Amino acid sequence: MAYLPLIADRLDLKILATGEIECTKGVLITKEKQKNLETFVHLVLEANKEINLIGKSTESIIWERHILDSLQLVNLIPRSATTFCDVGSGAGFPGIVIALLTDLSGYLVEPIKKKADFLNDALLRLGREKNLNSTRVVQDFYENTKKKIPMGVDVVTARALMPLVDLCELFFQNIKNGAIGIFPKGKSWEKELNNAQKFWKIDYFLAISTTNKESRIIIVEGLERNEL
């Protein structure tokens, strides 16, 4: 699926001379959404006392490190999208943030039972404020979910899950079927991209991270295996 036509009318996104995408405005957050995010942060911090959801060193900067880092992905989701799948959802970043800030139906895939239980509990508690019935937790490895999750989801995401070369393998069928892959990467994004291109022909765009100007979000719209 071609990505640029899907965001052509977006005044909050700017295409720079370098070809990179820059978010010019933050996500509009209503008082209700702000309250939901605050509740979610509280749930994560409480659960983190018993389960390793986020690094202890990031607890004091959870808004900057995890919430804002997830929020920037919301800006990059095409408005025409209706479904998403977040793999390796863990503490719910970015999956639950996307569910709270959009009306998309979604799947949160997490193989570790304790983390999947947390996600289900968080959705239940947050659902008192926002209807989250269209967001479902799937406790399994993504490779085993073909009968549980339709291949035709519009957007796939994965944050701090695996290198880009492995994400290409994991989501090849989804992207081949028209999904857009939105993958936030850290300062080593260029190294990951170069390595992945040894094995894959990747049609992609880069979005500048709003939380770290040296990081990039790699948006994949097409994939083909290289002939070796």
Tell me the one-letter amino acid at 64: E
- Give the whole-angstrom CA distance, residue 215 versus residue 213: 5
Q: Considering only CA atoms, which of 212, 220, 214 is closest in space to residue 69?
A: 212
142 closest CA partner among 173, 175, 109: 109
Give dist(CA 104, CA 113) in Å, integer: 24
Query: Is the pLDDT at 131 greater than 80, yes or no?
Result: no
What pLDDT, in 10s, does the model give residues 6-60? 888 888 899 999 999 999 887 778 899 999 999 999 999 999 999 999 999 999 9
Dig out the tokens for 169 from the structure. Answer: 């393998």
Map out the domains of the chain with their CATH numbers: 28-225 (3.40.50.150)
- Between CA 161 and CA 193 the distance in angstroms is 15
Q: How many helices (H) and strands (E) does the chain have?
A: 7, 9
pLDDT attached to residue 192:
97
Between CA 193 and CA 165 the distance in angstroms is 8
222 bridge partner residues: 203
Is residue 183 a contact partner of residue 158, using CB atoms and an 8 Å limit?
yes
Q: Across residues 147-151, what is the average pLDDT?
A: 87
- Return the number of other C-beta atoms located less than 10 Å from residue 18's C-beta: 9
pLDDT value of position 82? 96
Report d(CA 181, CA 204) in Å as an integer.
9
Taking 80 as the threshold, does the pLDDT of residue 155 lie above it?
Answer: yes
Q: Do 56 and 50 form a contact (C-beta atoms < 8 A)?
A: no
Cis before 94 (ω within 30)? yes
Cα(15)–Cα(196) distance, integer angstroms: 24
CA angle 40–41–44, rounded 5-degree value:
85
100 CA to centre of own chain? 13
SS3 52: coil
For residue 187, pLDDT beyond 90? yes
204, β-bridge pairs:
220
In this structure, are strands 105-109 and 155-157 parallel, antiparallel, or unpaired?
unpaired
Q: Residue 5 — very low, low, confident or very high, per pLDDT cuts 50/70/90?
A: confident
The angle that helices 164-176 and 189-196 make with each other, rounded to 10 degrees, is 60
In this predicted model, what pLDDT tens digit does every residue of 59-101 receive, in sequence order? 999 999 999 999 999 999 999 999 999 999 999 999 999 999 9
Paired tokens of 57: 């060193």
